[in-house]
Structure 1
Amino acid sequence: MRERFQIGGAPVGDGELRELASELDPDIRRHSLTFFEAATALAFHLFRKKGVEVSVIEVGLGGRLDATNVVAPFLTAITNVDLDHCDYLGSTLNEIAMEKAGIIKSGVPLLTAEPDGRIRSVLSARCEALEAPFTSVESDAEKTSIDVQEDHTAFDVSTSMWGDLRLQTPLVGEHQAVNGALAVALLERMPPRFLPDR
């Protein structure tokens, strides 16, 4: 479970997690939270106690009704839409896209790496209705520049802030290059005070 809670790229210790969980236990029981709802509350409690200024929060299931959808983000992202969790999210890509579009907030930019134009249209229409800027991030990583190894994926990405970069992730697969390009695009749009030097 520790891999769900990281600060500065390092997992939080088991003892610290147990202590924080015991602080929340009465509320978790009183409200009969699901495992994911409790884990989300635990993450928010941890981030508050540690003074975390910026966090990456990933939905657990869909978006619209997800426990994470209580945050007030300055950016949102939908990597792509696939036929997953169909019992909960819907049986078609359009239905699932509408559920995922539930994370879109009024005036808050959405970035996506969704390759299907029909699904991008669903996301874009929701953004337009909420006056939320919409950006479709095409992977700047050429297929030939992606190097998938058994323990990592390396790829090239062009940025407006840092020029051309060769990046590497411990996650494996060509799709991780697209996810990485989306992450870089999100970084470029963060408020300046949170931006890394490189």
Structure 2
Amino acid sequence: MAVDASPPPQWVTDLNSTPTSKPKSSFPDPPGYTAPLSAKQRSQSSKNAAVRQAPTTEEMDTLKMKKAWELAIAPAKQLPMNAIGMYMTGNSLQIFSIFMVFTLFKTPVMAVLALQRTFAPFETPGTSGRMIGVKLVYVLMNLMMLGLGVWKVNKMGLLPTTRSDWLAWEGERTWSERAVPREWL
């Protein structure tokens, strides 16, 4: 067999070789784009990265408080979506609406019961005094979610809010006057 000694096509040569310079373009680089670094630039940036200092405890406490506040306000972010879902399920007793209401009651109760475990990663000696307010806001946000559940149960007609709902516990009415004599009865 004869081996063809012809040179490879130009596109193969271009693909295997690195470009010598950046191609000239009239378009600027898009925002956020960083050009690939050369070996010299990479070694300089790795030296600069090694110089980075660890954050102080005060900076870590500030960061932990920010994250704790984000976690405390998270139930309030779910409230509009749950309210729309409760409105869309209607007021009739169906399995879907009952399941939604059950979930609406279960989630905040379980969240409040797991309060200490939820905020444990953010507890440090520097943040312990400030965490009380964060936990209080978290409990209030979950109470708002429970309030939405109570509103939905009331709209479904399951809360005893009228006099007729309590008739079983009412005594027989005694009449002070009669329109007919007792003998006729």
Measured against the shorter chain, the TM-score band is under 0.3
**TM-score, length-scaled by structure 1:** 0.18
Bigger CA radius of gyration: 2
More helix by share: 2
Larger relative CO (CA 8 A, sep 6+): 1 or 2? 2
**TM-score, length-scaled by structure 2:** 0.19
